[in-house]
Structures are given as structure tokens and as C-alpha cells.
């Protein structure tokens, strides 16, 4: 139930991914009703209220006739629904719907409970509006994507229902729902907010959480494959740094390597020369790099959690109380800057996980740095290219991520006849974060293939508990490469084990 306590991460996850029913408390419903009645009363008095008795944006000086006030709200939804590009993934759409409800139930927006309940029912019955990904500049909020989200409420647009795309009205009918007509301020209340960029952030954050665990396990496989040292994983080192993410990553890698006969051997001498006592940074500094990204993720989730419980539309409604007269106040809570900057920070954290992973893949495929493994991890190199080109692909994806990691929030472009003259670009930051995440998943999947191939070449050695579980999981669908073959199916299968969460769950159950 939402409406009386802050929306927490666990509730968001259950409703978005597990499709738990969303229930709004009676107290919240009453708040919504009181605010709607106050807005209607103010509108009927003829008071100048932005977006209720006036136009929007640069049209704020245009007075709307009372008989046109309701029509204007539907015109607002229709005119703003001009997004382009591919549709947003269903989890992002569900998160948008949930977060918009969470803002509206606070009773500061002025729409009726009957209208808000229709959005709740759409979410509960699986009516998912088709929302193009491009069209928002992040202020005033995510107007364009939220407009597409609201079209089925008035019987327009398109929506997915039970795996099929239908016209909005038809999807509502199939789900047993009836579109409605909007009234005072309802269109503005529905589409004005930061819920698209925030929803993107939550979905990326959830996937990145699993990817970080995968990165620790796959990195441990690479360290083991070159018979790397484990001294750098000693908890005493990480306690001195005092960073929680770093300590967690070091612990994960240590547990993955428990029982390994390859990793952690003491340095000896060969031909009178001391063997190396330190590994390359991509192995030795795994806890520091992975851990820094963990800390960024925690920070960003905190910002997103605050935004999930914020009221971010405009104007805001304050019905009269015993202590204060009522007011409808124009402000700027719709501006997405806090979320945009946080998502730009998250982009860096994800990109760096891909960056260091590619360096480990390069080390394993280089015969001069792989500690005795054959060139490109295949027999008869020259005739066979082995793992040469997967590392190329990882390098290409890393470079693409570097481009997308440039902060979107440092950009701005004026809109609405210069009335909206500074915007956040938060939606761009979210879309870039999702793209970087998808690339990082593939980069790590390539390292997963390469490290597994390398470990198979280290015959007759006992592997660590976590690394063995990870390699065995891959070998159920991708066999050892004896000689060259078409490899893109292997890359896709390996990536699926990461993106589905199966690798994280499998290793987690062991360590």
C-alpha cells in the first residue's frame, strides 16, 4: 500500500518486476479528493491559475474561457505526445506509472481520484502505454514521454496488453477499463514531472547491481586464469581505505577464489630470478575500481529514492487548513537537474566496469602477459584466431561508452519561446546510462567467454568455488572452443546469463 509511507526500493521492485498489485491508502485517496475540489473551486471563481485558467509555457498570458478549461487539458495531452524513436522497455514504463502515482497520491496536484485510479488500474491490469524514448529535455519535467503514458487514459495512443500492441482505447477495453474525460488541471497533473528519467534510473540501477556482482565473479576468473596473486585481496588492505564498496568487492573476489589451486600461489624463483609479486592493475585493483562503482550506485539510488517520493509537477496545490489559507503556487520542482546529474554520475560508474573488464580480456589473450597461455587462447594460432576478435568487440564497446559517458546535464537548449530557457537533459542521461549498461553487459560477457576458455586450458587444477560455478554455468550452453567457429551466438548466450541475473544468482548461491 502506498500513500502513507515513503515508497521504498523493495516496493518499487515488487510492483515493477514482480507485478505485485498497487494499492493506494484511503487517506491518500481523501487527500487527492480534497485537492481536486479546491482546484475546481478556484477555477470556477475565475482566479488566474497557471495551466487551469491560463495557457501553458509561453502561453501563460492567455486566459482560457471556463467552457474550454476541460478541453484544454485533453489538448495538452494530445499536443505533447509527439515522441519519436524506439519504445521504452516495459519495466521502465511500469516504473514511470508507479512513480507518477506515488507523486499524485500526495494530494498536491489537483486531479480527481477517479482519474488517478484509472492509472492505478492500468498498472495493475498490465496495460502498458507505448512510449517513444526521445522527446524530453528534462524540464518542465518529462512532458513528452509522460503524455504518451497518459494517452490511453483518454482512449488514444497505443498500449501493450498481454503481449500485443493495440490502440489505446482497445487496450483499455480488453482490460475491462473505460477511458475518461479530463477536467481542471488533470492533464497538467498527469504529464508534468520527472518520472521518465527517474524510472530509467531505477531500472538501470537494478540491473547494474547484478552486473557488479557478475564483474567480481568474472574478474576472479581472469585473476585465476593467470595464476594471479591474492595478497591484494587481503581484508587488512581494504579496511585501511575504509570504503564499503571496495571492501564488498574484495570479499566477493576472495570468496569466488576459495579453494583455488591456481590463484594465490606464493612467488618463487625461476632460473635464479624472482617471479613477479604483483599483478597488473586490472587484476590487483579490482576491488578499488569495482568498489568505487558500488559506492556511486549507492549514492545514486539514494537520490532516486528521494525523487520517487517527491512531488514534481506545477503548479502545486495547497488546500486550506485550519492554520493556512489555500494556495496554488507556481514553482520549478519539475526541473530534472538532481536526477540528471546523478544519472551522469552513474554513467561513469558503469562505463568504468566495462573499461577494466576489457583490459583483463586483453591481458588473457596476449601471450606476452597471460603467464604461459597460448596466443588468443586457441591451439595452432595463425590458422585459428581464437579469442582475438571478441577482444576487438569489447574494445569497440568501451570506446562507444566513453562517448556516451560525457555528461548530458552540462548541456541545455531553450524551449517554449525561451520561457523554458534552462533544461536538465535528464532523459538523455538516463537513455545514455541504459545504453552504457547494455554495452557493459556485453563487454563482461566477452571476458566471461575468454576467462572460461583460459581456465579450461589450465588443465588439472582445482578452481575456486565461485569461479567453478560460473564456468560450469557457461559450459551448459557454450562449449570450449577447439578451433575457430562462428562466435556471435556464444557472445549472445554469455550475455544472457548476465542480463537475466542467472550468473549473479548462481555464484551468489555458492559464495
Longest dimension (CA), the chain: 96
Q: Are residues 170 and 237 in the same domain?
A: no
3-class DSSP state of 343: helix
CA dist 202 and 414 (Å) reads: 27
**Per-residue pLDDT at 381:** 84
Q: Are residues 261 and 403 in the same domain?
A: yes
For residues 160 and 175, the answer to whether their CB atoms sit within 8 Å is no
**Per-residue pLDDT at 88:** 98
Q: Are residues 99 and 211 in the same domain?
A: no
**How many other C-beta atoms lie within 10 A of the C-beta of residue 416?**
16
Give a yes or no: residue 1 inside a domain. Answer: no
All 3 cell numbers of residue 495? 550475455
- Torsion sign over Cα 477, 482, 484, 485: negative
CA dist 226 and 189 (Å) reads: 58
All 3 cell numbers of residue 110? 489537483
For residues 312 and 193, the answer to whether their CB atoms sit within 8 Å is yes
All 3 cell numbers of residue 179? 477511458
Domain of 51, CATH number, reads 1.10.275.10
Give a yes or no: residue 285 inside a domain. Answer: yes
For residues 45 and 38, the answer to whether their CB atoms sit within 8 Å is no
Environment class of 105 (CB within 10 Å of its CB; exposed 0-12, middle 13-18, buried 19+): buried
Q: Are residues 96 and 207 in the same domain?
A: no
Instruction: Show the CA angle centred on residue 344, arms to residues 339 and 347, nearest 5°.
Output: 125
CA dist 424 and 417 (Å) reads: 17
328: part of which helix (H) or strand (E)?
Answer: strand 327-329
Q: From residue 344, give the alpha-carbon distance in Å to each of 302, 340, 408.
A: 15, 6, 7
Kindly report the backbone phi and psi dihedral angles of residue 481, in degrees, each rounded to the nearest multiple of 5, phi listed first.
-95, 105
**Per-residue pLDDT at 270:** 42
Q: Which of 193, 222, 255 is the last residue of a domain?
A: 193
3-class DSSP state of 204: helix
Environment class of 392 (CB within 10 Å of its CB; exposed 0-12, middle 13-18, buried 19+): middle
Determine the structural domain holding residue 119 and report its residue range. Answer: 9-193
CA nearest neighbour of 484 among 397, 384, 404, 393: 384
CB under 8 Å, gap of 24 or more: what pairs does 4-8 form? 4/28, 6/305, 6/308, 6/309, 7/98, 7/99, 7/102, 7/308, 7/309, 8/305
Q: Helix 90-104 and helix 9-16: axis angle, to 10°?
A: 130
Q: Are residues 14 and 101 in the same domain?
A: yes
Give a yes or no: residue 108 inside a domain. Answer: yes
**Per-residue pLDDT at 269:** 43
Q: Are residues 217 and 176 in the same domain?
A: no
Environment class of 268 (CB within 10 Å of its CB; exposed 0-12, middle 13-18, buried 19+): exposed
The number of distinct structural domains making up the chain is 2
CA dist 228 and 266 (Å) reads: 10
**How many other C-beta atoms lie within 10 A of the C-beta of residue 274?**
9
Residue-by-residue DSSP string for 210-274? HHHHHHHHHHHHHHHHTT---GGG-HHHHHHHT-HHHHHHHHHHHHHTTT-SSTTPPP-EETTEE
128: part of which helix (H) or strand (E)?
Answer: strand 128-129
CA dist 279 and 137 (Å) reads: 45
* Each residue's pLDDT expressed in tens, for the chain with a length of 511 residues: 898 889 998 999 999 999 999 999 999 999 999 999 999 888 888 777 777 777 666 566 677 776 777 788 899 999 999 999 999 999 999 999 999 999 999 999 999 999 999 999 999 999 999 999 999 999 888 999 999 999 999 999 999 999 999 999 999 999 999 999 999 899 999 999 999 999 999 999 999 999 999 999 999 999 999 999 999 999 999 999 999 999 999 999 999 999 999 998 665 544 444 456 689 999 999 999 999 999 999 999 999 999 999 999 999 999 999 999 999 998 999 999 999 999 999 999 999 999 999 999 999 999 998 988 999 999 888 899 999 999 999 999 999 999 999 999 999 999 888 888 899 999 999 999 999 999 999 999 999 999 999 999 998 899 999 999 999 999 999 999 999 999 999 999 999 999 999 999 999 999 9
Q: Are residues 186 and 282 in the same domain?
A: no
For residues 394 and 444, the answer to whether their CB atoms sit within 8 Å is no
Give a yes or no: residue 324 inside a domain. Answer: no
CA nearest neighbour of 346 among 418, 280, 407: 407
Q: Are residues 107 and 178 in the same domain?
A: yes
CA nearest neighbour of 191 among 142, 122, 134: 142
Q: Are residues 37 and 68 in the same domain?
A: yes
Are β-strands 84-87 and 158-161 bridged in parallel, bridged antiparallel, or unpaired? unpaired
Kindly report the backbone phi and psi dihedral angles of residue 412, in degrees, each rounded to the nearest multiple of 5, phi listed first.
-160, 150
**Per-residue pLDDT at 271:** 46
Q: Are residues 186 and 209 in the same domain?
A: no
Give a yes or no: residue 325 inside a domain. Answer: no
Q: Estimate to the nearest angstrom the gap between the alpha carbon of 311 and the chain centroid.
A: 21
Is 50 noted as a catalytic residue in this protein? yes
Q: Are residues 93 and 225 in the same domain?
A: no
Q: Are residues 151 and 235 in the same domain?
A: no
**Per-residue pLDDT at 276:** 63
Q: Estimate to the nearest angstrom the gap between the alpha carbon of 109 and the chain centroid.
A: 27
Give a yes or no: residue 359 inside a domain. Answer: yes
DSSP β-bridge partners for residue 420: 415
Give a yes or no: residue 475 inside a domain. Answer: yes
Q: Which of 193, 225, 258 is the last residue of a domain?
A: 193
Give a yes or no: residue 139 inside a domain. Answer: yes
Q: Which of 132, 164, 193 is the last residue of a domain?
A: 193
Domain of 239, CATH number, reads 1.20.200.10
For residues 145 and 131, the answer to whether their CB atoms sit within 8 Å is yes
Amino acid at each position: 500500500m502506498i500513500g502513507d509511507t515513503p515508497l521504498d526500493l523493495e516496493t518499487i521492485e515488487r510492483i515493477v518486476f514482480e507485478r505485485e498489485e498497487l494499492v493506494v491508502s484511503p487517506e491518500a485517496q481523501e487527500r487527492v479528493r480534497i485537492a481536486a475540489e479546491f482546484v475546481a473551486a478556484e477555477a470556477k471563481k475565475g482566479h488566474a491559475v497557471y495551466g487551469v485558467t491560463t495557457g501553458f509555457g509561453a502561453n501563460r498570458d492567455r486566459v482560457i474561457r471556463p467552457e474550454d478549461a476541460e478541453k484544454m487539458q485533453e489538448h495538452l495531452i494530445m499536443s505533447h505526445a509527439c515522441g519519436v524513436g524506439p519504445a521504452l522497455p516495459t519495466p521502465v514504463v511500469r516504473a514511470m506509472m508507479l512513480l507518477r502515482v506515488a507523486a499524485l497520491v500526495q494530494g498536491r496536484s489537483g486531479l480527481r481520484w477517479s482519474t488517478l485510479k484509472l492509472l492505478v488500474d492500468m498498472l495493475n491490469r498490465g496495460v502498458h502505454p507505448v512510449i517513444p524514448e526521445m522527446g524530453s529535455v528534462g524540464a518542465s519535467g518529462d512532458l513528452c514521454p509522460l503524455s504518451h503514458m497518459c494517452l490511453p487514459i483518454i482512449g488514444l495512443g497505443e498500449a501493450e496488453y498481454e503481449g500485443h500492441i493495440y490502440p489505446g482505447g482497445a487496450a483499455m477495453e480488453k482490460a475491462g477499463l473505460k477511458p475518461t474525460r479530463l477536467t481542471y488541471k488533470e492533464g497538467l497533473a498527469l504529464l508534468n514531472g520527472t518520472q521518465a528519467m527517474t524510472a530509467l534510473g531505477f531500472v538501470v540501477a537494478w540491473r547494474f547491481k547484478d552486473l557488479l556482482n557478475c564483474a567480481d565473479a568474472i574478474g576472479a576468473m581472469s585473476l585465476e586464469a593467470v595464476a594471479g596473486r591474492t595478497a591484494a585481496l587481503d581484508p587488512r588492505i581494504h579496511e585501511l581505505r575504509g570504503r564499503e564498496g571496495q571492501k564488498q568487492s574484495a570479499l566477493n573476489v576472495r570468496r569466488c577464489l576459495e579453494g583455488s589451486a591456481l590463484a594465490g600461489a606464493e612467488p618463487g624463483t625461476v632460473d635464479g630470478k624472482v617471479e613477479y609479486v604483483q599483478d597488473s592493475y586490472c587484476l590487483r585493483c579490482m576491488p578499488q575500481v569495482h568498489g568505487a562503482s558500488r559506492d556511486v550506485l549507492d549514492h545514486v539510488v539514494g537520490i532516486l529514492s528521494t525523487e520517487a517520493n517527491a512531488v514534481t509537477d506545477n503548479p502545486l496545490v495547497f488546500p486550506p487548513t485550519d492554520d493556512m489559507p489555500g494556495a496554488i503556487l507556481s514553482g520549478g520542482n519539475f526541473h530534472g537537474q538532481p536526477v540528471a546529474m546523478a544519472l551522469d554520475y552513474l554513467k561513469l560508474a558503469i562505463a568504468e566496469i566495462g573499461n577494466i573488464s576489457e583490459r583483463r580480456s586483453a591481458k588473457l589473450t596476449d601471450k606476452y602477459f597471460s603467464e604461459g597461455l597460448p596466443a588468443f587462447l586457441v591451439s595452432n594460432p595463425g590458422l585459428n584466431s581464437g579469442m582475438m576478435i571478441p577482444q576487438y568487440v569489447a574494445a569497440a564497446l568501451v570506446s562507444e561508452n566513453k562517448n556516451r559517458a560525457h555528461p548530458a546535464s552540462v548541456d541545455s537548449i531553450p524551449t517554449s519561446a525561451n520561457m523554458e530557457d534552462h533544461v536538465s537533459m535528464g532523459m538523455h542521461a538516463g537513455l545514455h546510462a541504459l545504453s552504457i549498461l547494455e554495452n557493459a553487459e556485453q563487454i563482461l560477457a566477452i571476458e566471461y567467454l575468454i576467462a572460461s576458455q583460459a581456465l579450461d586450458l589450465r588443465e588439472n587444477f582445482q578452481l575456486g568455488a565461485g569461479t567453478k560455478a560460473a564456468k560450469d554455468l557457461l559450459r551448459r550452453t557454450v562449449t570450449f572452443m577447439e578451433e575457430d567457429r562462428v562466435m556471435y551466438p556464444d557472445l549472445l548466450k554469455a550475455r544472457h546469463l548476465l542480463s537475466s541475473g542467472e550468473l549473479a544468482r548462481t555464484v551468489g548461491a555458492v559464495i
